[in-house]
Amino acid sequence: MLIKDGEVLLERYQYQRNAENRFVSHSMAKSIVSLAIGMALAEGKITSLDDKVAKYEPRLAGHAYGETSIRNLLRMSSGVAFKEVYDGNDDLARFSKLRIAKGSVDSLREFDAREVEQGTRFHYASIETAVLAAALRAATGMTLSQYLTPRLWQPMGAEADATWIRTKDGLEVAAGNFNAILRDYGRLGMLLANDGAAAGKQVVPKDYLLDATD
């Protein structure tokens, strides 16, 4: 799909897919989680990006991710050791298996070794988005899907429901596995291109969005 100045210039599907089929986003879902954090910040449900996660999810208190600030998780600079190389034997695979067996929060506690001081090194790690999802649920009392439906998806004018795979404890697989139709991905792209505004309404806080993308 190509969109210019709000006009769809090209829309094409392959492999017998059509406009009603949902497509998986993979790691673009991480940016959707970031939008949720920005909205929670604007609503005062999160008081500061410099708050430690444990302020909202006390079950992580005393553990590496619980003692990491929300800002450093958004920047993937927790300093916590996490190997993500997609070979089926890395920490991502281990975390995925643990989450099925033990639930999200207990699994996060298993990764407790900080290699460098937080905020000093960027290191891509999908688990950091899972920490943000746990903090958001604790701060708002809602899952990502419950929180974002009336705040993001509906206000931007989505024409279809999106879906998000979740674990047994109800927490979405925040780092990926978000699914939506192509046209709604286009609407999300337009929303972000317009600094978080849609139909004359500021949907995503502009200051947060600009700070997140500078």
Provide the pLDDT for residue 204. Answer: 96
Q: Range of 179's domain? A: 21-212
pLDDT for the residue 210 = 94
0.85 surpassed by pTM: yes
State yes or no: pLDDT of 178 exceeds 90.
yes
User: Rounded mean pLDDT of the chain?
Assistant: 96
Measured in whole angstroms, the distance separating CA 97 from the mean position of its chain's CA atoms is 20
Q: How many CB atoms lie within 10 A of CB 120?
A: 9
Residue burial 76-99, b: 16+ Cβ < 10 Å; e: rest: bbbbbebebeeeeeebbebbbebb
Answer whether residue 30 is part of any domain: yes
Residues with Cβ within 8 Å of residue 170, at least 6 apart in sequence: 143
CA quadruple 102, 106, 108, 111: dihedral sign: negative
Decide: residue 125, CB within 10 A, 0-12 exposed, 13-18 middle, 19+ buried. Answer: buried
Residue at 136 is within a domain: yes
Q: What sign for the dihedral angle of Cα 25, 31, 32, 33?
A: positive
Question: 47: domain CATH number?
Answer: 3.40.710.10
Tokens of 208: 């947060």
* Ordered alpha helix ranges (H), the chain: 29-43, 70-74, 91-102, 104-108, 127-140, 144-148, 182-193, 206-212
Please tell me the total number of residues recorded for the chain in this structure.
214
Q: Which pLDDT value is given to residue 113?
A: 96
- Is a pLDDT exceeding 90 seen at residue 73? yes
Pairing mode of beta strands 22-24, 178-181: antiparallel
- What is the predicted pLDDT for the residue at 214? 83
Q: For residues 108 and 98, is the Cβ–Cβ distance under 8 A? A: no
Is the confidence at residue 62, as pLDDT, over 90?
yes
Mean pLDDT of 207-212: 95
Tokens of 12: 């094409």
Q: pLDDT at residue 69 above 90?
A: yes
Q: Which residues pair with 146 in a beta bridge?
A: none
Q: Judge whether 10 lies within some domain.
A: no
Residue 108 belongs to some domain of the structure: yes
> Average pLDDT in the 138-157 region?
97
pLDDT by residue (tens digit) across 5-60?
889 999 999 999 999 999 999 999 999 999 999 999 999 999 999 999 999 999 99
In a domain, 6, yes or no: no
Q: Is residue 191 part of a domain?
A: yes
% of the chain with per-residue pLDDT over 90? 96
Q: What is the pLDDT of residue 197?
A: 96
Q: Is 140 contained in some domain? A: yes
Residues 114-131: tens digit of each pLDDT: 999 999 999 999 999 999
Would 115 be classed as within a structural domain?
A: yes
Host H or E run for residue 201: strand 201-202
| Mean pLDDT score, 80-107 | 95
Per the structure, the count of domains in the chain is: 1
> What's the confidence (pLDDT) of residue 6?
87
The pLDDT-based confidence of 168 (bands split at 50, 70, 90) is confident
Compute how many other C-beta atoms are within 10 angstroms of the C-beta atom of residue 184: 19
